[in-house]
Amino acid sequence: MTSENKKSSVAALTLSAVGIVYGDIGTSPLYTLRAIFDPEHGLALTTPNILGIISLIFWSLTIIVSLKYVTLVLRADNRGEGGIMALMALALNSVTRHSKWHFPLLVIGVLGATMFYGDSVITPAISVLGAIEGLEVAAPGMSHYVVPLTIFVLVALYSVQRHGTAGIGRFFGPVMLVWFIALAAMGIVNIIASPVILGALNPLHAFRFMLENEFLAFVALGAVVLAVTGAEALYADMGHFGRKPIRLAWFMIAFPALTLNYLGQGGLLIADPTAIDNPFFHQLGSWSVIPLVILSTMAAVIASQATISGTYSMTKQAIALGLLPRMRILHTSESQIGQIYIPAVNWLQLVVVLIAVIGFGSSEELAGAYGIAVTATMMATTILTFFVTRYRWKLPLVLCLGATGFFLVIDIMLFSSTALKLFHGGWFPLLLGTVLLTGMLTWKRGRELVFENLQRHAIPLDAFLQSLFVGPPTRVPGTAIFLRGESDGVPHALLHNLLHNKVLHERVVFLTVRIKEEPWVALPEQVQVVELGHNCFQLNIQYGFKDEPDIPGVMQHCATLGLPFEMMETSFFIARQTVISAPGGGMAPWREHLYVAMSRNARGAADYYQIPTNRVIELGTQVEI
């Protein structure tokens, strides 16, 4: 690739990153200052307080986003992939499976992921509400239409998800670029009108504000967090864009535009304190409100789209890592493998988003719920980063503690502040996270119990084949493929087939799929063939948690390893397990019943691995847990 092509591809990726990665944090100016100076907090709208708050916002963006995420956390990539799931896999890989830290790290990672789900529910609700609330500024009588219009926009957004974002995705970057230019321009206009606000760049204003206001300042911190929501998205999207475009988009476009706009809103409030009812829409006067409502609604929809797509991606990773049951995953783009649609997640998320919109009714009320989800994910990220820097990168303990400890202190302060909003909306993402955490850990433990049960009753494969061919059964033409777990012994489907049909195919293949705690596994490393004798083979397939399981695709590659397949002469035998909750050990009865319900609704293995349905024979088996 020529240097000119490289430059153009970096420029294109940077523009795309502006649209996808910074949509969430880019829409924060819609509601942040309004939430901070909410009359409930009792924070006086004085010049020293305004300077202190804007200073806190600027230094939060600098320390949390620029230093922590863009500089440090983006280095912790799992083969180019980012996000809490990739980071958790990296941290788990840096300690042994039998380490005392393995389970706590798993819980921290899963908890961080469930909080990301909470964030992805609140982002569409608060962003679209915040944008449409501009109508109240244009015409106070329109306030009754804000919630119905928000519901209409959100239902329309979720309804088009099945068509994918390939068509409209190309407009995300340019629209968000216009949005950031508008943010910067509005900020400059108000800074010129009230240049005293530039003093907020001095961190002394932030310290003075904290010292003078004490508890009120601590409460305000919970709302200052709103300015950094979406920081997790830039790490989660690293695999799509790469480090360089994400960093360029932040330092060249998003960071300057956000800084200018927050300074501008602060300047406006110093000059005109009455604008506090909605400072964002008062920045340019009444003539600009309707155009701003249209532009901000478009920006809010793009911000929502980014979190919706992020939810699909995280769900797919969670399924691969054994934290959620298999679900139907549809691909919405022939050229981009990452563009997926999960119907069950889409409609469930829409229901919860609509509950949030109707239940809270305004962006101000939702602000309390938002902060706690964001800060919990930030804390989880910081803790996991410590284990990666210490045990994977082998950096000195003092350096690891110094780097992550500094950020952890800030995360704990912010989380403590947002926790004060527990009864004012903070319970919502925590309840959502608790439900998801329970479901994920129940599914993981249930799978372990099923595995243990199968192992207890497993017949060693080598010994079985040896005894089977002492007096071999009748061999029939064709190839039989039996799916088996890593330590399952003889597949139940093979035993059933021999018991009822009393025949064996002329070629028998035992297929085992393993998911590694890495995002991608190269095709040559995915396939391993082991000859077992008597025309029987063990076929091991390894996938990363972001790889697309495609058994027929891998089987084509097997020809190069001396094991060609003719699909029309191949049958797949799969044992469909019916899990039964039995009294005694295992989990608590209610968790066992939850696992059984999840298991019954899980997508079939054949469907998940893209095995042609007309080549599948399913045989039932019961497993007690």
CA torsion sign for 302, 325, 442, 448 is: negative
530 strand-pairing partners: 538
Q: How confident is the model at residue 204 (pLDDT cuts 50, 70, 90)?
A: very high
Beta carbons of 180 and 254 less than 8 angstroms apart: yes
Residue 177 confidence (pLDDT): 95
Angle at 608 between CA 554 and CA 350, to 5 degrees: 135
Report which of 369, 396, 350 is spatially closest to residue 229, judged by C-alpha positions: 369
- Cα separation, 66 vs 85, in Å, equals 22
Averaged pLDDT of the chain: 88
More confident residue, 529 or 338: 529
Q: How confident is the model at residue 336 (pLDDT cuts 50, 70, 90)?
A: low
Cα–Cα distance measured from residue 436 to residue 345, given in angstroms and rounded to the nearest whole number: 12
Residue 55, classified by CB atoms within 10 Å of its CB into exposed (0-12), middle (13-18) or buried (19+), is buried
pLDDT of 267 > 90? The answer is yes
pLDDT at residue 338 tops 90: no
Report pLDDT for 144.
86
Alpha helices in 96-241 (DSSP H): 102-132, 134-138, 146-159, 166-193, 203-213, 215-224, 231-236, 238-241
Look at 228-237, 275-284, 326-335, 421-430 and tell me which has the smallest mean pLDDT. 326-335
Q: Identity (one letter) of the amino acid at 250?
A: W
pLDDT attached to residue 259: 97
When pLDDT is averaged across residues 581-605 and rounded to a whole number, the result is 86
The two structure tokens encoding residue 237: 């999207």
603 CB-near residues (< 8 Å, 6+ apart) = 325, 326, 327, 328
Q: Rounded to two decimals, what is the model's pTM?
A: 0.84
Residue 436 confidence (pLDDT): 94
Mean pLDDT value of segment 249-254: 95
Query: If we measure between CA atoms, which residue out of 42, 59, 122 comes closest to residue 428?
Result: 122
Q: Which two tokens stand for residue 446?
A: 């249930």
What's the pLDDT tens digit per position in 167-196? 566 788 899 999 999 999 999 999 999 999
Contact present, 571 and 614 (Cβ < 8 Å): no
Distance CA 341, CA 163 (A): 8
**The dihedral of CA 409, 414, 415, 419: what is its sign?**
positive
- Whether the per-residue pLDDT at 3 is higher than 60: the answer is no
In this predicted model, what pLDDT tens digit does every residue of 285-298 receive, in sequence order?
A: 888 889 999 999 99
pLDDT bucket at 1, cuts 50 / 70 / 90: very low
Alpha carbons 55 and 202: distance in angstroms, whole number: 7
Given a cut of 70, whether residue 487 has pLDDT beyond it is: no
- Beta strands 536-543 and 570-580, pairing class: unpaired
- 3-state per-residue secondary structure call for 371-405: HHHHHHHHHHHHHHHHHHHHHHCCCCHHHHHHHHH
* pLDDT recorded at residue 20: 82
Distance between CA atoms of 540 and 542, rounded to whole angstroms?
7
What pLDDT shows up at residue 175?
A: 93
User: 14-23, 77-86, 592-601: which has the highest mean pLDDT?
Assistant: 592-601
Instruction: Write down how long the chain is.
Output: 625
43-57, 93-107, 118-132, 576-590: lowest mean pLDDT where? 576-590
As a whole-number percent, the residues of the chain with pLDDT over 90 amount to: 47
**What is the C-alpha separation between 120 and 488, in angstroms, rounded?**
38
**616 three-state secondary structure:** strand
